[in-house]
Structure 1
Amino acid sequence: MKKIIAIIIGAVIIGSVIWAFARKGKDSPYLTEAVTRGALLQSVSASGKVEATSDIQLSFEQQGQIASLAVAEGDRIAKDAVLVTLNQRDADASVANAAAAVAAAQAEYDQLIVGASAGEKRVAEVARDNAQESLVQTVARAAADRAKAEQSLAEARVTWEAARTNLTQDIDAKLAAAVSAANTAEKKAQGVRNILDELYAENNNFELFFTITNVEAQARAENAYEAVAAAWQSFKTALAAFRAAPTEQQAASSFPLLEASLVPVRNAVHETSVALVDAQVSGSAPKTVATYRTDVAAAWTDINASIADLADARVSLANARANGTAAIEVKQAAMATAEQNMDTVQAVSAQSVAQADGARKQAQADYDKLTAPPTAEERALRRARVDEALAKLLTAETLRARTALTAPIDGVVTKVNVKAGETVTPGETIVRLFAANAFEISVQVPEADIPKVNEGDAVRITLDAYGDDQEFSGEVHFVNPAETLIDDVVYYDVTIFFSDTPPEVKPGMSADVTINTDRRNESLSIPLRAVKEKNGVQYVDVLNDKATAEKSITLGMRADGGWVEILEGLEEGEMVVVGMKKK
């Protein structure tokens, strides 16, 4: 009752402080709480029943089959009496295996002390010599493999260089051919133009020498001839650019222009040929109409040949570049393969030599170890193995002894839950014993709270039979490590002893307990609902006048009543935001 009054007084003081600070920010839209300093209590509450402390539930620590039952319900038994035994067949086998392991470990220890025989030494010597010979052969093979790979790489580099030289030479030859083709095209095109100029002498028409009945053909021919001058100028410009820099790049740029510039000339030749089909020559003409037609036909042949030669030279140059580049790429790929092969051979050779050398060293070490007397460390290691085997034998014998369930106290058997032949699991209640004059409370704590509970924690107890006003004290006596499932929820059984057992307490009475799991004195605290988290960092909004500012904090214990301990980040009296006021 004194504790309750103290808590109420503390709550009134804290409420007064909070009210004072709240008045200071009455115009603020935020709901706030002050950072306070004081005692914090963490507790876990549960309900259970009063039971006799000697109502003991006995179980096996291992799974097994019931071999015999020595008691029945109602029997009075003495302390250490055997109640139930398990089938010992597996336990006997484990003991036998552990004993055999002890014998083997002892034999190995004895063999170490005696040492190796002459035959064993000879075998180790032969293994050492074979490993040395294997190393010599491996080194020789590795050297031969590296030499072969180096030769292949050198040959690949030679063929790659040859491909590059061939490309340069082929490009030079194709450029020379392109220059020749351009010069020839110029000469032939000039001749074609001379023929056209002769036909179109004076005023660019046929009226001087010819009478054309096909007026439309004559008009097309004259128009086509008028375009020749501009085309010829374009041809000369492109040709001059190529001659100024007769390179592969310039050829790729100039030759399409040269070809395109001769197309209007060819068109003029064609239209002139059509116009001369039904033309009549005047008496003043220096040639017959047949001769003019022959000249035009020859011009047609020359102009087409010029265009074709230019195109062939351009294509030939491009093909030389493409084919040469492809050949270089093939040779370069072959060289890369040879380089990769060289790297592989070197790595494999090094690994093979290292493995052979490791095997030689291991064989030598085995021989040295076999022929040398045992060291103190070896004797200690083998002795430790013997001791380890003995420890496992002791464990096996202990487990076999645990196949018998004995009475820990004098008492009466109240329940036998098994029959002979049944299989039981670890922790399953087999027999229950009862003794009077001692009481405890058994409660079930959820798994979320069980980490907080420890044996020895103080407990406040109220009994329904006495009412909430009468409180008893106690402490946590035992936390059962085995879980209990209730509606798929995990609970753990916790046993609580009375500090002073009330005289009127009876088994079966309902009890409410509060386990004091932790306490802080003079710690800063705030309501948990004020805590926020951003990017993994916990913080609060602190109210300064009417504005808020974020402050990072470090939390400690989560206390009862929705409060949480503040380890770092806040000062006593600061106002933290817990919500917004309703408008």
Structure 2
Amino acid sequence: MKSRFFSSFKRPRVIIPLLIIILGAGGYFTFFRGNGVAYEVVPARILDIRQEVSVTGRVEPIESVDLAFEKGGRVRAVNVKVGDRVLAGAILMSLDNADLFADRDQADADRKAQQALLDQYRRGTRPEELAISEAKVKSAKSAVGDAASNLIDKISDAYTKSDDAIRNKVDQFFLAPRGTNPQIAFSLPDSKLKSELEQERFAIEKMLVSWSASFAATEADILGSLLEAKENAARVRAFLDKAALALSTLTPSGSLSQTTIDGYRTDVSSARTSVNTALTNLTSAEEKLRIAEANLTIAERELELSRAGKIPEEIAAQEARVLQAEAKVRSAEAAIAKTLIRAPINGIVTEENTDPGETAAANTVMVKLLSASGFKVESFVPEVDIAKVKEGNAASITLDAYGSDEVFEARVALIDPRETIIDGVATYKVTFDFGKKDERIRAGMTANVDILAEKKEGVLAVPLRAIKTKNGTKYVEILGADGKTILSAEVETGLKGSDGNIEIVSGITEGQSVIVFSKSE
């Protein structure tokens, strides 16, 4: 093998190219020997100096969006698939929203009714319109009656649930619960809590008796009964909370099994849920009654206006009602919009995460779009190089997908002022815009970026390794004309090139032989 390696140099076809390479190199680097020292010498030459910063980045779309529903629900329709191109405003997905369309239609109908009423105000009242107003009052009174009956039912239900919670669920672990001195049937670690529960059980019994006796006056004083029901149910809830706390401290004993304890806890938990539900139902029923009463007031006022005729101030008030109705329509339409995912940009669907019939959670990404307008490169430049980079700098980009021969022109578009720590090193995100659109570019490709930070043409330069420093002064060593004398020349340097050369501002002239390296033989 060795003989074949060296024999290859004996052939003319190998020797001639090799000599050409050596002689070519000799045009720039020259080696001298003298006084037992070998010198590597290079002439100071006029060159173009380019300072470049090289980084690696990633191709990103100029704009990308993750889209989600603003509210959760069952998916009704999926109108796109991965790879589809969509236009801004296109509906990509929708949830079941028939009820919202019904609400919107109802709001729109109310708007039209308010507008018609305004038109009536402006032209005067007709007998037929008086009849309509009277019918509205009648309907509103009926709604108030229904809401009042519903509230009475909820007051009764609150009593029933409270009574069951105390006399059926809690009284299981009380002795003589309805007597004057109810006692918990077991000991508790917290004697104070036990005493409070026993005293409160006695007080609640009196409350339940009084509450039951007051039902006869509920219809006559529905708001008073409502207030009483809320206070009593809240008192029962507080008592149940204490009871649950007491039961949580129990441990099995000879007279109290774990099964019994678990049964007590389950019953009290169920009672708490039931009473909480009763309180919620009271609030809801109260709100419905208030709304019905407000609607009745409005209907009665409208009837009065119809009978009395409208003054300018009343017409203005009706105009305000029309505006309010229009606002409700817009609100209903906004609710519908929350069940739709629309494309905010022209783009390409890159991800679609659901199918019709599935349940979508609010704010969970359902669709991803990439902008169809182009791509950019994002990279992170270390802090040691960031001062060299300026917005607007030209850059050359190669993509691993197409090799180093395919160069894409670009420029520095943005430098993030905030640092990003990567592996303990401060870096700054730099964004590059491609010079022109190219269909071959894809999101996610690895990009190798050379940033032209600065360039000087036709300046005197030497290799950077020829520069020496002593006491803060930069100098080079020059080989004299005799090939033996070594002279030192103080120099002022300028731009450092990425090719290993550095600009010489002053100190030597073109053609002078600068020592790059010396070694004793």
Give the TM-score, by structure 1 length.
Answer: 0.33
Decide which structure has the larger Cα Rg and report it. Answer: 1
Greater fraction strand? 2
